[in-house]
Structure 1
Amino acid sequence: MWLFVLMAGFALLMVLAAVASASGTAARETAQAFEGEVLRRYSKQHTLTTGMRTDHWLDIRTDDGEVLSVTLPGQVCAHYEVGDRIVKRAGERRPRRL
């Protein structure tokens, strides 16, 4: 009985840790703000034990001269082309074209 309670508690702790980690990433992405130009759009495929995963990125040169790599869903990333001017305001989830 105690072993079951201990294992259930550990599983719950792991789930809570994963949720806290994911929400921290989303909060950082939402807080980020920049304006700039798309330098490159690319994707990479990764083989996982559960199948394939494709990650999509935009490299952006901000008006401050900094180069950022922004991860976006594939369908969203496809809307941007090299040379597009984009803006990402604090509180917004994703950048948009100017």
Structure 2
Amino acid sequence: MAFGDSDLDVFFSDSGVPVIFGAQSTRGNLDEAGSDNDIIGLQVEDTSHVLEIGRGSLSPMPRSGDAITVDGRAFRVRKQTSVDDGGIVRIWLKVG
């Protein structure tokens, strides 16, 4: 059985967290991958926040600099890209 764009709402509703953008809401997957970086001899911990939502779940889609709330926490959009065929949008976030 093929997985298609019409299945994305079910996928995110089962496993996603609440996402609020302006007056709109949806659900998405939030990935918070941490990494340690050695910068000029200093150990710096970095956490990357990446949100995945279905294309069309928000209209218009968030753009760089926009405020968005994910799982009750405030973020700003850094950038967004499409995943594979474009059915899923990956949004890089920064705290704030």
TM-score, normalised to structure 2's length?
0.32
Structure with more relative contact order (C-alpha pairs < 8 Å, separation 6 or more): 1
Structure showing the higher helix proportion among its residues = 1
**Structure with the higher fraction of residues in strand conformation:** 2
